[in-house]
Amino acid sequence: NNNAYCQDNALTWLDWPHADPALCDFVAGLSALRRAHPGLRHPRWFDGRPATEGLAPDIAWFDVDGQPPTDMAWGSPQHRTLAACVTVAAQGGPARESLLVVWHAGEVCDLALPPGRWSLRLDSARSWVAAAGAVGGDGAPPALEHRLPLREPTVCVLVRALHEPSDTDRTDR
């Protein structure tokens, strides 16, 4: 039977007492990352247009030089690094952040980041996911502003706030 979902036996049972704790923690971190960022759970197809006039498009593609990929790069089997800047809102609200999702399977390089202060939230090469809300300290690397060093195959997610919270936005008073 090629459908493992209909196997209720040792073939598909999960051996939770002997599960890899680091892998479980990493997958839990991925799940928390997806819950925390609307751009990772967008319910519609991206179309490359802004949701509201004058705002960033819902998705924009970038090459390692920070520019949109050329037609040649899109079709090249040697092109092994791609980034997508995703800017979408949670349902019913304005976009508060942009995400930069980076897929890197190529040679060592530095990816030019779009303008702004970016916080690394996922680096699959290190099996690392930042704790929710962590920026610097607490296991999170410092913010990046110009380049993301890519030294090994990885998937990275970076976050940039679209505006800094003001005193009137604070809820911890």
Instruction: Give mean pLDDT, residues 75-95.
Output: 88
- Cβ pair 119, 143 in contact under 8 A: yes
Instruction: Give mean pLDDT, residues 95-117.
Output: 94
Looking at per-residue confidence, does 52 or 165 come out higher?
52
pLDDT on residue 43: 84
* Percent of the chain residues topping a pLDDT of 90: 55
Burial of 49 (0-12, 13-18, 19+ CB in 10 A): exposed
Q: What's the pLDDT band for 142 if we cut at 50, 70, 90?
A: low
Other CB atoms closer than 10 Å to residue 82's CB: what's the count? 19
β partners of residue 150: 109
Looking at per-residue confidence, does 171 or 97 come out higher?
97
Shortest CA distance to 117 belongs to which of 158, 68, 155, 67?
158
Residues 6+ apart with CB under 8 A from 46: 58, 59, 86
- Given a cut of 70, whether residue 138 has pLDDT beyond it is no
Residues 6+ apart with CB under 8 A from 151: 108, 125
Length of the chain: 173
Looking at per-residue confidence, does 107 or 90 come out higher?
107
Distances from the Cα of 50 to the Cα of 18, 43, 45, 70, 164, angstroms: 47, 15, 13, 22, 21
- Cβ pair 154, 108 in contact under 8 A: no
Instruction: Give mean pLDDT, residues 112-124.
Output: 94
pLDDT tens per residue, range 143-173: 888 999 999 999 999 999 987 544 334 333 3
